[in-house]
Amino acid sequence: MPGSDQRPLAGVRVLELAGLAPGPFAGLIFADYGADVVRVDRHGDSFSTDTLTRGKRSIAVSLKSPDGISLVKTLVGPQTSGKLGEWRADVLIDPFRPGVLERLGLDPKDLLKANPRLIVARLTGFRREGPYSKMAGHDINYLALSGVLSMLGRAGDKPYFPANLLTDFAGGGLMAVVGVLAALLERAKSGKGQVVEIDMVTGTRYASIFPLTVARPSTGLPMWIEPRGENWLDGGAPWYEVYRTKDARYMSLGAIENHFYRAFLDIFLKELSSHASELPTPPSPDTQYDRAAWPDLTAFFTAGFALKTRDEWARIFLHTDACCVPVLERHEVDAQGRGPGEPGRELDTDEAADGGGIPDPAPRLVRTPASAGAAMGPFLEPGRDSVELLEAAGLGAEVKALVAAGAVSAAEVKAKL
């Protein structure tokens, strides 16, 4: 029996206080799965550098204005009696440092008293309690305190951070989504909302539970018991590595299990047979896990991959179990993750220049009307939807007064005043 074509979060309303990467990313995921996500931008801003805007709308509110704070309280408050169609948030995303909401007069405890069904997702970098809680920080700092940064990098070199992907997005945004979804499920049973606390130090440790657990000496597993950069999955093993090709591009090799490694070697050695005199001694599949053989393996693979172009190797290993595929540039990948030579549409000129289509995790599901903003491009004009949202909240008669009081920015109204 076919499943529903309705996006699973259709009908859920999210108020996202504008912030940096993790909050907007959580909002993007909610919007992609059908929620009506409204970003609260700063009053007076005409542009935002946030590009995680697909499917969202914007209202620009002054959080320094009593009228602005009152408006936010209305948007996260309970439905007014007799007006069940009014726009009211199910979820509030708080991206601020500890204490900011309270100082603004938006203490989550008070918001929950006013609307017991509200879910407040509070995203902080450092843990909410402790010596770092009041400090400014970014992904690299939270990663450092998680204990995970010390495990990343090449042998003999300093720790290396994976841009801001692991902490901002995995340990922050994704963990916020998981927490909110769990709270929504609980609310369906109890009728009550709650505060969901997410800090990126703890979230990163959770997202990194595999290496943190495997690295314990008590596990007795060989995958991650050596110093940084000397383990199976962190650049230590030659059969889990990236190799430069003849045209200065790269192939990825991930033949962890011996039967995959044997499949890789069979193909690799066959393709290099005519170059035997130029290469070191060919490896045996029986020495895969022998650390003493790894330096020679690395030298052989490095020399071998350098004899053909990336696309030549890609064609050779396509449709095999060698666990060897090309490292694609961002402009080579379409929205479904397809690359050159794979079935699917070709990237058009604009997509190629822009780094390829941006992936949507639920392409099968239809969009709800609330996601109409998806076609507007990567940037969302602050306050673009202020009038529409205020009218949906039952405040249509107050729009001009709110704008005149400096509580709300609404370009549509300003143009008419």
Cβ(392)–Cβ(71) below 8 Å: no
What values do phi and psi take at 93, rounded to 5?
Answer: -100, 115
CA 304/CA 311 separation, integer angstroms: 14
Nearest Cα to 389, choosing from 41, 34, 103? 41
| Helix 200-207, helix 139-146: angle, nearest 10 | 60
- The full DSSP string for 366-409 is PPPGGGGGGGG-S---TTTTHHHHHHHTT-GGGHHHHHHTTSEE
CA 163/CA 172 separation, integer angstroms: 14
> How many Cβ atoms sit within 10 Å of the Cβ of residue 97?
16
Reduced to 3 states (helix: H, G, I; strand: E, B; else coil), residue 14 is strand
CA 311/CA 314 separation, integer angstroms: 5
Q: Say what the alpha-carbon torsion angle 368, 372, 374, 377 is, to the nearest 10 degrees.
A: 180
Six-digit token string for 21: 């990467």
Q: What is the DSSP-derived secondary structure letter of residue 79? A: P
Cβ(402)–Cβ(408) below 8 Å: yes
CA 160/CA 183 separation, integer angstroms: 35
What values do phi and psi take at 92, rounded to 5?
Answer: -115, 125
Laid out side by side, the sheet with 240-244 consists of: 240-244, 250-254, 324-326
Six-digit token string for 7: 């996006």
Reduced to 3 states (helix: H, G, I; strand: E, B; else coil), residue 60 is strand
The residues annotated with a catalytic role in the active site are 168
| Helix 175-190, helix 22-32: angle, nearest 10 | 50
Cβ(30)–Cβ(9) below 8 Å: yes
Cβ(89)–Cβ(75) below 8 Å: yes
- CA distances to 124, 126, 134 from 131, rounded to whole Å, are 14, 9, 8
